[in-house]
Amino acid sequence: MTSSKPPSGIEASAEFIAYQLLMYTLQIEAKNAEAAGTTHKTSRNYVLDAYTDCLEAVKGKRERRVIAR
């Protein structure tokens, strides 16, 4: 989506936007793992749970989680 006009059709759907967010997130996580010198096998459940999180976030229904430090 590089054009300046707003998305329409499938590009405007919450599912498509969640998919784009998922792909972006997976890219960032892969880069972070590489920089840390670790590898991470991405399981099907991990991807599905991540997509669900993205879809909930796009729809404004994802609850904020506290990160343990």
In-domain check, residue 26? yes
Look at the chain and report how many structural domains it folds into. 1
Q: For residue 64, is it within any domain? A: no
**pLDDT per residue as tens digits for the range 9-23:** 767 899 999 999 999
pLDDT for 5: 67
If you count them, how many residues does the chain have?
Answer: 69
Structure tokens at 7: 């998305």
Q: Give the chain's end-to-end CA distance (angstroms, integer).
A: 37
pTM for this predicted structure: 0.71
Residue 40 counted as domain residue? yes
Reported confidence tier of residue 3, pLDDT bands at 50, 70, 90: low
Asked if 11 and 43 count as a contact pair (C-beta separation under 8 A), the reply is no
pLDDT band at 1 (very low <50, low <70, confident <90, very high): very low
Report the C-alpha dihedral over residues 31, 33, 37, 38, rounded to 10 degrees.
-150
Residue 1 lies in a domain: no
What pLDDT score was predicted for residue 9?
73
Domain ranges, residue 40: 9-58
